Structure 1
Amino acid sequence: MARRIFTIITLLLLLSSCASPDQDMSNEYIGKSDYPYMYHSTGNGTQIAYSDKGYYFLNGDYIYFMDKQNNSPVILDNRPDNGCVDNSEDRTNCNAYVSHASPSDYLFIQYYEDHLYTMESRVETGKAAVYELVRRNPDGSNRKVMKTFSNGVVKSVNIHRGFLYYSVQDYDKDSNMSYQLLRLPLERLSKKPEILYVGEYKQGSISDVLAYGAQIYFIEFTDTGYRTMRYDLKTTSTEPLWLSNDGGYAALSSIHDKHLYFKYYYPTIASDNSDLFDKRTLVIYRSQLDGSDIRATNIKSSPIISNVYIDSQYTYVRPVWFQLTKVKDVANEMKIYKDGNLVQTLDMSPFSLTHNLFVGDENNMFVIEFTGDKSVLYYLNKSAIESANAKFIRMLETSVRTQ
């Protein structure tokens, strides 16, 4: 009898250890547990994390911290003998150092439950890059590798409501490519990952995983283009969003007030840049979180296809800046609207083509610019927008190196 009771108890313990942690399925944004979508930059990931005390910046290969009381980022290693010198050959004695095997690595930094997480990569001699999920204390100390991804390239990462969501691209021995969307419970990273979605395209990949509420959005590149996908945490189903009947590709621009904002792009084989001026691509649409109830908005587009960012107060519209080299007489500027009225126009021409914009919180917007061997951080104080005096201010420059 005792042996039978012991067996039952053991079985129950095993089942409980395999069960998924309870996950909130609401569509309310929960700051302490949700992926901070306002610091996500399309195509690049996130280089900014936020806590109650201030901001963390992943600038170049180093983490900096800036408290709420000033605009002076400091290296995240307060030891007097730290090795956090830009030209140092040995960077292992630097708590703030984040290893990247390639400058094209998808970037990730997130503050979650009193720890700072980064996705790092390194190259072992004669082998492919190895990716690692690393955890640190808020002051940069106690660096610990939480998970090693020995197979494939980790492309996009979120931590959201107790889970690690990520996409992987890999090749088999015959050089056939595969790609998947996976997840792991953050408290049990040694488990076998749960497969949420398996791609079907030979040249496909998954980019821009973005968790919001009970949805996981991502971009799937196909053999002929791309599409926005939605994984429903409640139903565990995946579906494409906003499919068009006229050849348009849809991409998520912004999330605001439980709505998705997006636009269509219509490629052309012509060399006259007609795709940039196509009237259909100048319309900004809005839908429910599940992609239903699509409606055209009154947001004013730039003369060519635009990027749109929305926060709790303002709407920011600018032309897709890397396309400006193809056209003439289109100003490289960002227009800021409040309640549909133009408040300020910002000249964005000083920035190089290689920069990322992060819409940020109610206080600040950020730009991180790459200028060859430098990564430069700028901030914009949103309190100055109302008086039309807002501007991007340079506050940090870091040398960039590759292994």
Structure 2
Amino acid sequence: MPKKNVLFLIVLSQFFCTSIWFASNGVLNNLILEFGLSKQALGHLTSAVQLGFITGTLCYAVLTIADRYSPSKVFFYSALAAGFCNLGLTWEGNTLLSLTASRLLTGFFLAGIYPVGMKIAADYFDKGLGRSLSFLVGALVLGTALPHLLKGSFTTAEWRYVVITTTFLALAGGSLVRYGIPDGPFRKAATGFRWNGVFTIFKNRDLRQAAIGYFGHMWELYAFWAFVPVGLSAYGEIHETPMDIPAWSFLIIGSGALGCVAGGFVSERYGVRKTASGALLISCICCLLSPLLFLQPSAVFFLGFFLLWGMAVIADSPLFSTLVARNADGPLKGSALTLVNCIGFGITILSIQLLNVLQALISPAWIFTFLALGPLLGLAILNKKRGDLPRSRVDL
């Protein structure tokens, strides 16, 4: 099968399957009204997905599932399980506990979708992996933003249609990979199970440094995505400006797809590491400047700034994944990507819960500044003296 067809199918499948990631966020107001939840449910339900993803990635990594078994089959069965768990949101007897459990299980099986999708791409693309992963992560961004768009489309209809639609898309995406993408030519299957094998990947200094940069990026990313609607609502209330929250949330989060693709092309000229550092720096500056945005009266300027931030906040993600994949030992490449994802998503829970607490204590205009801590750490590590990553590996 031509590589361009493989990439298209992976990207489309990733977009379909990751639409369930923020399904609860897209219909959060409906869940609050339907089941009598507090506004803190945003942080709890989002963190539940992240915790499930962490648990899932740890299990998949330690068991080296994506390296010992066909990645396409792992992707397919994980998509089926995640889709059915997502349907738990529609149960009429839900409480915060049952909703949290549904999100937790959905996140667990997403561990077989996002990192395994990157593993499949790495098995097909030896050269140009950075650009390939930029399309793949761009699909994740659009999938994550999709529930907000669906909510806006189904405004006058039953909110459960959003959940059902995202579930159907997950099943379709899994089927596309299972029946449309065979194992790649660069796949190196692990020969056996070693329970501690995956943890040896951090002995590689180059991989370790790339991973720390990724962790700094993750501190900001999902907390920003989760609280975009909060920021929009706060600005609307401060300036008494009506906001189409679902539509603008979709556009701001979804703009990251353009950032990913642009970053992939830029990296081919300036190098992966340098491009990742540039995107991380831009998003860090956005964090620090964010309080000033809430003070100025121009909604056009405010929304334009958030669109730029939405592009920068995710543009470095596929580049860091490229560095991890390139520096990982061949037979453990899938597990390396999965374990780094696991730790990164663990960090997102801390930042999401921090903002969840802060929104009750201080003005929403100030909470985004705390997200700068991660990018600052990542930049400090990435800008250490050369010896970090050899040029032959960085400029992919």
Q: What TM-score, normalized by structure 1, do the two folds share?
A: 0.25
Structure ranking higher on relative contact order (CA contacts 8 Å, 6+ apart):
2
**Structure ID, larger Rg:** 1
Which protein has the bigger strand share?
Answer: 1
